[in-house]
A = this chain, B = another copy of it.
Amino acid sequence: MKDPLIHDLYIGFIRIHILYHASRDRVYGLALMTELARHGYQVGPGTLYPMLHALEEKGLLESEKKVVNGKRRRYYRITAYGAKALETARAHTAELISEINEE
């Protein structure tokens, strides 16, 4: 994360990003890392992979191994429960932005 002092504001954002991407298409760790970096969230493998494991453990994502271009990947997709969580997150995020934008 660029500014370490405000890092812990955004950990949840990262999870929501992941859920969102996994809801649109299957995703895998390394590609997520670069995608998240594009959005300014620089998470390392020591953060991302355990996070993916936990999201799967909790039933928000599910995964399967695939071999692509001779490289093995673990693809994640969102589950029904994960989609519900994403919907809820959308609502919370909308509520947050509308509140903090009030004058």
Instruction: Establish whether residues A17 and B99, one from each chain, have CB atoms under 8 Å apart when the complex forms.
Output: yes
Give Cα A20 to B96, complex, Å: 10
Known contacts A5-B59, A8-B12, A12-B11, A100 near B85 by CB under 8 Å: no
Residues of A within 8 A of B (CB): 3, 5-6, 8-13, 15-17, 20, 39-40, 58-60, 81, 85-86, 88-90, 92-97, 99-101
A6 to B100, CA, bound (A): 22
Q: Are the C-beta atoms of A16 and B5 separated by less than 8 Å?
A: no
When all copies of this chain in the complex are counted, the total is 2
Q: Tell me which residues across on chain B come within 8 A of A94, comparing CB atoms.
A: 97
Closest 5 CB pairs of A and B: A12-B12, A9-B12, A20-B100, A6-B85, A93-B97
> Within the complex, which residue of B9, B16, B60, B101 is in contact with A15, where a contact is CB–CB below 8 Å?
B9
* A90 contact set on B, CB distance < 8 A: 97, 100-101
Q: Which residues of B contact A12 (CB under 8 A)?
A: 8-13
